[in-house]
Structure 1
Amino acid sequence: MADEITQLKNELQRAVKTVQDINAQLESMCRNCEQYRQEIHQLEHARQPYQFLRAREVARRFDASIPTIYRWVSEGVLPGPHKLSKNTSRWLESEIEAAAMRITEPGEKSKPG
């Protein structure tokens, strides 16, 4: 009987050790998962090379109406939108930012038109 108890104690100790090892591995994996989540979040919120803007977003940046944006495009003040599909046109954010910098250079009006 004492041998059986000793054997059970040894098995229990091995099982406890296995559970502790598994727990340590899980904790390590969770830390890795959190790091990956943070990296994914940073990548998702990183500036995309081609960020597109809708007409209302361009208008909001210049505190102007959408018709005024199209008038400025026709006057050559702003670049035109890019046709993405039959019914979709968007401006490249980088082109709008460059136009805004050009428009607001010293000695220029703060708004086109």
Structure 2
Amino acid sequence: MSSLLIFATFFYIIASYTLVLRAVIQVPSAAGRKKAFSTCSSHLVVVFLFYGSVMITYVSPGSGQAEDMQKFTTLFYSVLTPFFNPMIYSLRNKEMKDALKKVLGGS
């Protein structure tokens, strides 16, 4: 039952984003399309991080999965995904991108 609920909500989000992307493609200005794609991609990364780890935890067969792996995926979707969420959204900001490149040794 949990698999059905997880997949149903996941496919609903994907269908919603398909409609959003179709609307974004019709935006007349290139700058507007770029900004809209940036916002959508940030959100989709967070959605895939969350749903990917939830699916690994609740959809995969429990008997064959190691207990350590379950602990890791539970930690991932309950702690790490919310931790990375603000960072993913802040990378839409040009100054944040430049600062990250500087910290990581890029030009």
**Do the two structures share a fold, i.e. TM-score over 0.5?**
no
TM-score, normalisation: structure 1: 0.26
- Specify which structure has the higher proportion of strand: 1
By relative contact order (CA 8 Å, sep 6+), the higher-ranking structure is: 2
Between structure 1 and structure 2, the one with the greater Rg is 1
